[in-house]
């Protein structure tokens, strides 16, 4: 089973591929202090929904990069449907390995893919190099609601090891020289919807595609992840979007 196919199937009903509600997505976009013709970069852009909304709202231009061919195809289709294909470019590739011009973006964002640069701090340092002086950095990061249980640590050792609190996520940015402008925190309803849509998508895909040899492995994996979420993740893992300004 191709991992990007798995995520493509299980996120087929998501507008954004993280546990942020429609209202909160629109809120963070509305609060961006961007001027017309701003240049925006979205690392791990997924379906491109956030980038497309920003480009449309602020008359900006943008580049999105994602390693999944499924999401890049979806993003390009959305750009075409909204007549934004001449203002946005979606690239298939690894954001950490792509050669972007330093200090050339008014806004750089990475929502839920800080693993690209080895974590929250590494992502901040990478994006600082890509934005202009005084540019904006938007990050989507998990944080811990409580100390992970032994069962959580056993099943997600790397994630559990790197988890810090919401306040510590903010402090990491501030210690790197960034100024916090705003943060938006997801709640249980946001998480339940995000995880519930993933399970529903996998269940329906298996029903609709009985001849696909990947259908059962996708369903089995997603059922396992949803069970883990209910038993261990729901009360342990939080999610926030952070809006920082660079020096």
Give the pLDDT means over successive 10-residue stretches in the chain (247 positions): 94 95 96 96 96 97 96 95 96 91 97 90 96 98 96 92 96 98 98 98 98 98 97 97 97
Tell me the pTM. 0.94
Residue whose C-alpha is closest to residue 192's, from 165, 160, 226: 226
Listed by start position, the domains of the chain span 15-147+156-186+239-245
Confidence at residue 88, expressed as pLDDT on a 0 to 100 scale: 97
SS (H, E, C) the chain: CCHHHHHHHHCCCCCCCCCCCHHHHHHHHHCCCCCCCCEEEEECCCCCHHHHHHHHHHCCEEEEEECCHHHHHHHHHHHHHCCCCCCEEEEECCCCCCCCCCCCEEEEEEECCHHHHCCHHHHHHHHHHHEEEEEEEEEEEEEECCCCCHHHHHHCHHHHHHCCCHHHHHHHHHHCCCEEEEEEECCHHHHHHHHHHHHHHHHHHHHHCCCCCCHHHHHHHHHHHHHHHHHHHCCCEEEEEEEEECC
Q: What per-residue confidence (pLDDT) applies to 91?
A: 96
pLDDT the model gives residue 169: 98
Q: What is 15-147+156-186+239-245's CATH number, 3.40.50.150, 3.90.79.10, 3.40.50.2300, 3.20.20.70?
A: 3.40.50.150
Predicted pLDDT at 96: 86
Q: What integer pLDDT is reported at residue 115 of this predicted model? A: 86
């Amino acid at each position: 089973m191709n991992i990007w196919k798995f995520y493509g199937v299980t996120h087929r009903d998501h507008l954004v591929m993280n546990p942020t509600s429609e209202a909160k997505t629109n809120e963070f976009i509305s609060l961006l202090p961007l001027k017309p013709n701003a240049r925006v970069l979205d690392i791990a852009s997924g379906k491109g929904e956030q980038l497309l909304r920003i480009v449309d709202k602020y008359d900006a231009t943008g580049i999105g990069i994602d390693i999944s061919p499924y999401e890049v195809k979806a993003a390009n289709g959305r750009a075409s449907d909204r007549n934004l294909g001449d203002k946005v470019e979606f690239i298939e590739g690894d954001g950490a390995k792509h050669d972007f011009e330093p200090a050339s973006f008014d806004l750089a964002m990475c929502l839920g893919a800080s693993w690209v640069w080895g974590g929250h701090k590494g992502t901040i340092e990478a994006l600082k190099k890509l934005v202009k002086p005084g540019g904006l950095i938007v990050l989507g990061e998990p944080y811990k609601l409580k100390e992970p249980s032994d069962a959580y640590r056993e099943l997600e050792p790397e994630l559990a090891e790197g988890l810090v609190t919401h306040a510590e996520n903010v402090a990491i940015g501030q210690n790197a020289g960034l100024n916090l402008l705003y943060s938006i925190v997801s709640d249980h309803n946001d998480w339940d919807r995000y995880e519930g849509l993933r399970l529903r998508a996998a269940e329906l895909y298996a029903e609709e595609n009985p001849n696909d040899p990947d259908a059962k492995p996708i369903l089995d994996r997603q059922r396992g992840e949803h069970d883990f979420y209910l038993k261990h993740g729901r009360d342990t893992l939080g999610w926030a979007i952070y809006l920082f300004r660079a020096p």
